[in-house]
């Protein structure tokens, strides 16, 4: 396209996922209209970001790229603080961020040493990504839970207790891998009774959907994994946990002890 293509200056930020929805929409429309220059620029920007770790120290990313990257991460940190499910950072970007931070910390000599480590880490990350997408069914419970708890794409759902005597729980929901709920200092339910998780649908009048059961260990800790949630997060209003008779229930028989809204 001719000089003065107004979209070119947005391309780096677009490749970083750093544009607001309106800007992103206009860039996508422009790309869909077939601007070859901008399409090439997107590829170059993505390549640059993914390769930051391997660039010579004097080939640092532009101030704009650096600024946009940090801006996006700050937005992400802010979103995490306010517990809103606004995480939009693509998975590959975290490696780029780590590399960028290394550039600001290490001298060029040290960078060479560090680069070897990053190399190995990237290889591991590649294998991990392959696993996530292709072998998700073969993951152990612990592996699956670890991914759900650490992947930036997971959405954190705080689950405060209705009673002051009960600790606050946290749930993490990953669109592909499932839900993990963790608790500490949780009192043991009496007798053989159990804690049971429920998904409360957004649809008005819809019944809570029964999910997994768990009992805390002797230290009051538990981790509950739902590998195949009965519904997705978009159509779920809240997670709730009740105490139920051994074996669980098809509908809650007590008031929820914990409730966490999904948004
Ligand atoms: Zn263009």
Model pLDDT, residue 50: 56
If you measure from the C-alpha of residue 205 to the centroid of ligand 1, how many angstroms do you get, rounded to a whole number? 49
pLDDT of residue 43: 78
Ligand 1 geometric centre to CA of 169 (Å): 48
Predicted pLDDT of residue 120: 54
Backbone angles phi, psi at 198, to 5 degrees: -130, 145
20 Cα–ligand 1 center, Å: 18
Torsion region of 17: left, alpha or beta (phi above 0 gives left; psi -120 to 50 gives alpha):
left
The rounded Å distance from CA 36 to ligand 1 centre is 7
Distance of CA 4 from the midpoint of ligand 1 (Å):
9
Spacing, Cα 39 to ligand 1 middle (Å): 7
Rounded to 10 degrees, what is the CA torsion of 62, 76, 172, 90?
-30
Whole-number Å distance, alpha carbon 3 to ligand 1 midpoint, is 10
Question: Which residues lie below 8 Å from residue 182, measured CB to CB, with a gap of 6+?
Answer: 149, 169, 170, 171, 221, 222, 223, 224
What does the alpha-carbon distance between residue 9 and residue 64 come to, in Å, rounded to a whole number? Answer: 10
Please tell me the distance between residue 24's alpha carbon and the centre of ligand 1 in angstroms. 13
CA of 46 to the centre of ligand 1 (A): 16
Output the CA 15–ligand 1 centroid distance in Å.
Answer: 14
**What separation in Å is there between the alpha carbon of 65 and the centre of ligand 1?**
18
Q: Collapse the DSSP code of 197 into the 3-class scheme (helix H, G, I; strand E, B; otherwise coil) and give the result.
A: strand
From the CA of 73, how far away is ligand 1's center (Å)?
A: 26
The two most distant CA atoms of the chain are separated, in Å, by 76
Ligand 1 centroid–CA 43 distance in Å is: 13
pLDDT at 81: 46
Predicted pLDDT at 131? 53
Distance from the alpha carbon of residue 42 to the mean position of ligand 1, in angstroms: 10
Q: Which two tokens stand for residue 122?
A: 């990237």
Q: What is the pTM of this model?
A: 0.50
Query: What are the E-state strand segments in the chain?
Result: 155-159, 169-174, 178-183, 194-201, 209-214, 222-226, 236-244, 258-261
Look at the block and give the residue holding tokens 């004097």.
58
Task: List the pLDDT tens digit at each of the 263 positions of the chain.
Answer: 444 678 877 777 777 666 778 888 999 999 999 999 888 888 776 666 555 444 434 444 455 555 555 555 555 445 544 544 434 444 445 555 555 544 443 334 444 444 555 455 555 555 555 555 554 445 566 667 777 787 778 899 999 999 988 999 999 999 888 999 988 899 999 999 999 999 999 999 999 999 999 999 888 888 888 988 888 999 999 999 999 999 999 999 999 999 999 97
What is the Å distance from ligand 1's center to 27 Cα? Answer: 8
**What is the pLDDT, as a whole number, of residue 91?**
46
Q: Measured in angstroms, how far is the CA atom of residue 8 from the centroid of ligand 1?
A: 6
């Amino acid at each position: 396209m001719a000089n003065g293509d107004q979209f070119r200056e947005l391309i780096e930020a677009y490749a970083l996922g750093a544009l607001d929805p309106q800007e992103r929409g206009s860039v996508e429309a422009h790309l869909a209209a077939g601007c070859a220059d901008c399409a090439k620029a997107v590829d170059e920007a993505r390549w640059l970001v993914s390769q930051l770790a391997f660039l010579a120290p004097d080939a640092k990313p532009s101030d704009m790229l650096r600024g946009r990257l940090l801006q996006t991460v700050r937005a992400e940190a802010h979103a995490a603080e306010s517990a809103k499910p606004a995480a939009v950072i693509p998975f590959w970007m975290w490696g780029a961020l780590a590399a960028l931070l290394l550039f600001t910390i290490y001298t060029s000599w040290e960078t060479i040493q560090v680069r070897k480590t990053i190399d190995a880490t990237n290889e591991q990350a590649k294998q991990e990504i392959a696993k996530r997408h292709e072998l998700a069914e073969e993951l152990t419970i612990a592996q699956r839970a670890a991914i759900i708890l650490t992947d930036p794409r997971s959405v954190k759902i705080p689950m405060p207790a209705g009673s002051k005597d009960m600790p606050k729980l946290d749930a993490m929901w990953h669109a592909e891998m499932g839900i993990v709920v963790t608790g500490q200092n949780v009192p043991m339910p009496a007798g053989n009774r159990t804690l049971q998780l429920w998904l409360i649908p957004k649809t008005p009048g819809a019944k809570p959907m029964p999910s997994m059961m768990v009992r805390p260990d002797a230290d009051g800790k538990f981790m509950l994994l739902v590998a195949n949630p009965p519904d997705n997060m978009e159509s779920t209003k809240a997670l709730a946990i009740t105490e139920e008779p051994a074996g669980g229930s098809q509908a809650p028989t007590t008031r929820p002890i914990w409730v966490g809204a999904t948004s």
